[in-house]
Structure 1
């Protein structure tokens, strides 16, 4: 599952960043040569940036690439270290769960009100759904990273006691 999820994450990031780059470059050329902007490029670029941010955060959680202050964590041993790891993971899960909940609520509201995007006239929920999807990926990766971290701590403690 993790390999398939990684494939999906990297594919989304590549497609989002590639599309954003092409659209922005085309808009720059249009402004320079035609003195006119392509109206829908900003709408698509901003919404793809949301997807890119959440999926990138998910990849960062998987890789352990987020900045962290580990002075206290590194000095703790045993149960205290496990408790701190679980507590920090619970806070991250609480945050992403809240964003997921309100993101789904926003999508449902936009569907019920039949909101359309200004430039393209597409249903707004098509773009907004990227936020709950990204949060769901972050929740999955946080759980995965927490389990792996706890396994490493248990394995490390077994090696030091034997």
Structure 2
């Protein structure tokens, strides 16, 4: 499946949606590739050369934070978050659409609130002056991805609400319409 960064939203909102998509894709791709390269290099160093890379664990910790919080925005963009839809699915289309707008706005507000609290936490970490032992990077720097991820996720849900208000269909994200006809049945 080829990832497209084009948005169905008009004007500035479409540009914002496309920009967030590009940022997510870049961060996720680079994060996973760097983590894989770092892990392989560390294993080779440990078992072939007899020495580990001294900062490998810290770097992977940074990359896990990056991937996690860029990933929540990516999941929101592609409507991949867990949904509790038993009651929602029983509603008529008009109520489902209204409910999707409310769900999107409330979720966006919650994400922006988490962004605010994460930024406050980073401020408290910055005032403590703690640094990572091996890399000597201030701890607060590696946590920047947390509010960034919450902000991008909040923006994604807000854009989903706008998409539902400006389009005739019911959208789970800016480009994913509700429905189960494309879903594969997974056997466990």
State yes or no: 1:116 paired with 2:142: no
Shift of 1:122: 1.1
Shift of 1:74: 2.2
TM-score, length of structure 2 as denominator length: 0.73
Residues 27, 59 of structure 1: alpha-carbon distance in 2 compared, 3 angstrom cutoff:
same
Query: Within 1, Cα distance between the matches of 2:40 and 2:73?
Result: 27
- Where structure 1 has 5 or more consecutive residues not aligned to the other structure, the ranges are 158-162
Residues 156, 86 of structure 1: alpha-carbon distance in 2 compared, 3 angstrom cutoff:
closer
Structure having the higher helix fraction is: 1
- Match of 1:117, SS? coil
Deviations 1:37-58 (A, max 9, x none): 2121111111211111111111
Shift of 1:80: 3.6
Query: Within 2, Cα distance between the matches of 1:96 and 1:30?
Result: 41
C-alpha root-mean-square deviation of aligned residues, in Å?
2.1
TM-score, length of structure 1 as denominator length: 0.83
Runs of 4+ in 1 over 6 A off after TM superposition: none
Residue 117 of structure 2: which of 91, 102, 116 is its match?
102
Q: How does 1:43-54 map to 2 (within 5 A)?
A: 43-54=58-69
Residue 137 of structure 1: which of 131, 152, 161 is its match?
152
- Judge conservation of contact 1:54–1:135 (CA < 8 Å) in 2: yes
State yes or no: 1:19 paired with 2:55: no
